[in-house]
Structure 1
């Protein structure tokens, strides 16, 4: 397949896994890269990339074994991704080696070399002047490999307002411009995923950076400064073909996930504020979107409105059998069997922190925050979870994170019958970091993972 950029997507990135089935047979993960945050906390220090040992046979199991500090303070490292993924399996001249680590607030993009997996080093920094000067965009978020290019969703314009757009970089990590040919119908931007065999990319809407940076306000929702739309793009033409306006039932759609099977048109989006999940698939050549899960808010003393669960992250197992998502405010993490994609069936639930009080302690340890970012092992048996969302929102909803820091947990998943349990032997306490309490956010494996790999 060739993209409209003129690059052959089959000759870009390898070597990766030839198929999702091959990925599931990969050796067990031994390392996990985790974002560590000091932006917005009481600790005056740069954010960093932590390398965590997740090998149970290692003497440093469940410990941070390396910390790569960024050169500047105040970046708010958030989501990050690879220069290469499995969609480009077969090109022996390239490798999955460099992490693209954007600063959500600074719009600075860090390139990290993982050639020495246990001790990554900083390779290059793309300053915000180059990012804004070449694209007019700010607030980088999701990173995906795209042909010989890298594409990054950008949530704001130069002034921090919508609609944002998509930035492209080459494999020398130079900003080359913007990906999209137009933004008709798009008010905001956030996450995206593409499925080349269906010539489609799906993107979601969070809100204007100037709205969410200071913290959450209901007035901003009422003023339309948060999103409620899902966009289906013609991938080759780089234009939006269909927009679904979810209205009041779809406030703040965040993470989007296609099936890993490249032939499948099924996918899901988790809607944060409305606390529901929508399922999409092709229907007679078009796209059909249906709500398949609806969660209910809870009454809580001192709150002006019932507290929504707030779905913040969602992912699918590599075999497309299970879906997992986190409810950051309520404090539960859920597993659904999606063998029938249109009828998810709840098969597991654990409690980690949250405002409802059911997960205040996990295996005898006090938890600050709620279940948030997720990463699943390639074989589907180990789900990793961190508890920080965004610095200003952390400070607003979970002020105790400033004193305690957040944590990294492992949840063991039953891949035969469904079900989950929190592993009592694994607890990485980011409250005890050398510089002071830190907040853990997104995670990546050196060999690729369930939220970055796309197949052609």
Structure 2
């Protein structure tokens, strides 16, 4: 298959693109008894293909224990240099090792490792570790949120790489006022970047301890940055409603000043927007709340734990996963201040709601999400982080992860499981593995930002 060079001039053009035929999924053995390296899996999702619903290739990294996590493209629709660059390289970070891998997808069905940035180089040049979110920038550089320093201490920072994957330095002028780092999204026409907070890597690496909340070891703030000046201009403390603000997404419409943040532990969705009074101040309002549930015979309530969110390319629907409760939700966000529940599916979880897909009883709860450009197919995996998986869903280590597909009604709203497609990562050649983030060749709903 030839390399996909798709760059869309607008979200509207992206929605009309040819349906995805392949997916890339980061898979890992970190946190299991299997001493094997993590790898990038290539999955055939084309119903007309003879290898449909199978892993067609696996690209292992050379080390054991990296814990590959999030990954992204070297360039995207925001790049002013897209006429001379190809969306060819995937950048994937190892959370535990601090190592950064560059995968070459010139052969789409069989990626190869092109380059490795070793943690020693990151330590000596920028003193950063625990790479997380990857976004390509309009100037051709690549930006990665780093959740800690080389010793796993907070707050980390934002790493810049050039198109040759050389370390440029820090994006931010300084991190004063920022306690922790996690995800980020920028909206250039409003000269803003928003970043969120998790915890220091040395804290969350060990698993979750509720007492660490009271010790102040987890975040609850949103940070708003001047995109041009690369400096922090505003922070919002979300209080008790805002513990663990993780994924942040703006509307795809580059003129929009609306976005959403998923709050993991407090299990809320906040709508963020620019004030209408002309001050340039940003606001955050709680618009969705998922209350904790106490299952029968349980001694304490279980929070939903919202771990991933995304917005459809037409900015109409918000999707999110409740990792511990076990459901995926679809909300109509035509009015960002008043989302309306449009669909809900139960995919396991801790509330006793068993789900079977293609004769497979699901383990764990839904976690990472990726939506097709036309908004009709939602892909789901179930691994959050190895130590957290082992704590809340220890069966994943033995049974492995899954990749499933949900069919989404883009007219009336609603979702249903596609039983024709299922990848069981419990049956991998080297044994059961965990599957995390998903990407498409040519871009997806969480890759591109328009300028």
Shorter-normalised TM-score: what interval?
A: over 0.9
Q: What is residue 141 of structure 1 aligned with on the other side?
A: 132
Kindly indicate whether residue 241 of structure 2 is the aligned counterpart of residue 249 of structure 1: yes
- Measure the CA separation in 1 of the matches of 2:152 and 2:299: 28
**Residues 79 and 358 from structure 1, CA distance in 2 versus in 1: closer, same or farther, beyond 3 angstroms?**
same
Give structure 1 stretches of 5+ with no counterpart: 1-13
- 2:223 paired residue number: 231
After TM superposition, the structure 1 = structure 2 runs for residues 68-87 of structure 1, keeping only pairs within 5 Å, are 68-87=59-78
Instruction: Give the drift of 1:416.
Output: 0.5
Q: Give the distance between the partners of 1:380 and 1:132, measured in 2 at CA.
A: 41
For residues 187-206 of structure 1, give each alpha carbon's deviation from its aligned partner in whole angstroms, at most 9, with x where no partner exists.
00000000000000000000
Residues in 2 aligned to 1:139 and 1:74: alpha-carbon distance in whole angstroms: 13
Equivalent position of 1:350 in the other structure: 345
Check whether the contact 2:358–2:422 (CA below 8 A) recurs between aligned residues.
no
2:440 aligned residue: 445
Aligned to 1:5: none
Q: TM-score, normalised by structure 1?
A: 0.95
Q: Map of 1:293-304 to 2, 5 A cutoff?
A: 293-300=288-295
CA RMSD of aligned residues (A): 1.2
Shift of 1:83: 0.3
Aligned residue runs from structure 1 range 34-433, under 5 A? 34-88=25-79, 91-146=82-137, 147-283=139-275, 284=277, 285-300=280-295, 305-433=300-428
**Number of residue pairs aligned between Structure 1 and Structure 2:** 443
Q: Show structure 1 runs of 4+ deviating over 4 A.
A: 301-304
CA contact (8 A) 2:273 2:282 kept: yes
Query: Alpha carbons of 1:358 and 1:307: their partners in 2 closer, same or farther (altered >3 Å)?
Result: same
Deviation for aligned residue 1:184 = 2.3
Q: CA deviation at 1:279?
A: 0.2
CA contact (8 A) 2:358 2:421 kept: no
**Contact 1:77–1:102, Cα closer than 8 Å, also in 2:** yes
**TM-superposition CA deviations, 1:251-284 (whole Å, max 9, x none):** 0000000000000000000000000000011112
Shift of residue 91 of structure 1?
A: 3.2
TM-score w.r.t. structure 2 length?
A: 0.96
Matches of 1:304 and 1:222, distance apart in 2: 21
Match of 1:30 in 2: 21
* Alpha-carbon distance in structure 2 between the residues aligned to 1:102 and 1:196: 25
Residue aligned with 1:80, SS: strand
Show the counterpart of 1:8.
none
Unaligned 5+ runs, structure 2:
none
Return the offset for 1:301: 6.2
- How far residue 325 of structure 1 moved from its aligned partner, in angstroms, is 0.1
**Secondary structure of the structure 2 residue equivalent to 1:216:** coil
Whole-angstrom distance in 1 between the partners of 2:405 and 2:325: 19
Report how far residue 161 of structure 1 moved: 1.5
Distance in 1 between the 2:297 and 2:441 partners?
Answer: 44
Deviations 1:125-182 (A, max 9, x none): 1100011211111110000012221110010122212111111111100112111002
How far apart are 1:305 and its partner, in Å?
3.6
For residue 289 of structure 1, report the CA deviation from its aligned partner.
Answer: 1.0
